[in-house]
Structure 1
């Protein structure tokens, strides 16, 4: 028989206390019996009964493992690239404290929810860059998320295409898990202000690859002013620029790629719905191994010990009480 845990200091302490306690108890019984003969039969029965259920409790604590069997454990996961828009419009504060700060807060929940999946981070405006390759390291991902700001990328407008192409390229070059495209996910986060003009070709390629694309719009349709270095941004005519959420491009992109559109605005926060939808996508097999599946049968010993304990307290014998 194997054991879940070895005989350690804890068990030695319990056993020592039991032995010392009953040595003192028997010494007291012998001393009293010399003055008033009461007999030892009941005392021996009680000591034997209590020693028996004490041993049963001790065995249950050690955890007897019975039955020889093995069980296959499979690690299943997805690959998720998160594409974050870092154009100047993400500094708008129609979503408090700002669009970007709200995204950073929600991204940490998203990363935490997919601890068994590899997650990568791509940042973009008119150009796209890898902020973090696909990784299981959530601490590193959270560090990269904390560092997100609009100064990390060129601020010359927004174009979804370079970010989507870069993600597809990284998926295609991934040698660790090239097999199942259906376990690969793209999450595009933006306020929807896309000034690119070649989105149809890349969306068609995503659809053909079987990769699921989810889009998350951040902002409000009323919008807010853009403030750059403390000064409201103006256009060429001198008018103050108002940045608004434009969900149409994001919705269309999600529809074209068999994905879904979600939104974070003043009235709603679809982060939990997004996490639920991505979580429903079937992952692919990462690793498989055999483990010992011998069952811990402590419960039987514990149950028998409790039964004897109750018998001990229900049967009253004429003996000296402890």
Structure 2
């Protein structure tokens, strides 16, 4: 036996209170009878003793009250088992498209390798839904969808040269990822994950604060840090995707990309601001995305996988129906038995003789009134 709302069982204590009040009322009635006179003489004046019937009415009322609260607690019994489908997972892929992602410390380039491994992640996490955010100085997004191929195509067709504003606006990108999750009505019921892939730090906004907001809503943010403190030259890539030289500053010196100590701390704080968030530092020749993908696959097969649970059937209507029947019986049970009144039938011809007698009396009265007037 199981109860869906067990706190209503506390209401059965009200039945005890009702029983106490009824007993107290009976005691007051006996006291009132003794005050009025001798109980034996008062009993002789009564046609029946209502105490037994009142006791039964009290019992019915107390039991009905207890059954009503028992029904409110929604009793259930195990009917069988069922297979619970795997928990849905929503993943927002936030990918850095700043020019520094053209660096070639990860072959053939950071951005190319990241897009390939993100596409592999989308393919491997079958059953999950995906959204995408591509960002540099400003983010652009793709809403949640079960079509993983569309997400992979969205990220694949973009290039750092396509971003209208340069920079690394991580805070804006995470804000857009949060909006994509909040706009979807089903996402609140799913496990939500944001995967941030970047090689830089945000010098404008507050990405740690946005990550904390995501964590407060139950969303986990994993961070993949590509690149480190070692400076890497940034190639100049043409519209056709071929390297045409190296990027330089106004003075003609080569531009390099390197993550500062503050930048590393910022990325670590972003991951730490959410429950279960993890920071993966890319090693030489890899991005680290595959490690996150492997962990998500493990979770979907074990923690978020299919489970067997017991199915309970509600039986609240049994105590509720019995309570209603007892209340009806209590209402129909009177304090005293019903008395049948016997009516005597008039004798044959009796009514006719009575009518004639009344008529004669009326005539005599009329005659006496006439004489008096004359």
Q: TM-score, normalised by structure 1?
A: 0.60
Counterpart in the other structure of 1:176: 186
Counterpart in the other structure of 2:253: 239
* Pairs within 5 Å for 1:1-322: 72=83, 74-130=85-141, 132-180=142-190, 183-228=191-236, 229=238, 230-246=244-260, 247-258=264-275, 259-266=277-284, 268-279=286-297, 280=299, 282-283=303-304
Choose 132-141 or 90-99, whichever is displaced more.
132-141
Counterpart in the other structure of 1:28: none
Asked which structure has the greater RCO (Cα within 8 Å, sep 6+), the reply is 1
Name the SS of the counterpart of 1:192 in structure 2.
coil
Distance 1:268 1:142 in 2: 19
**Is the contact between residue 106 and residue 285 of structure 2 (CA under 8 Å) also seen in structure 1?**
no
Distance 2:287 2:173 in 1: 24
Q: TM-score, normalised by structure 2?
A: 0.52
Go from structure 1 to structure 2 and tell me whether the alpha carbon gap of 1:97 and 1:268 turns closer, same or farther (over 3 Å shift).
Answer: closer
Gaps of 5+ in 1: 1-68, 286-322
RMSD of the alignment, in Å?
2.8
Go from structure 1 to structure 2 and tell me whether the alpha carbon gap of 1:169 and 1:284 turns closer, same or farther (over 3 Å shift).
Answer: farther
Name the SS of the counterpart of 2:101 in structure 1.
helix
Gaps of 5+ in 2: 1-79, 239-243, 307-374
Size of the aligned set, in residue pairs, is 216
Name the SS of the counterpart of 1:163 in structure 2.
helix
Go from structure 1 to structure 2 and tell me whether the alpha carbon gap of 1:165 and 1:89 turns closer, same or farther (over 3 Å shift).
Answer: same
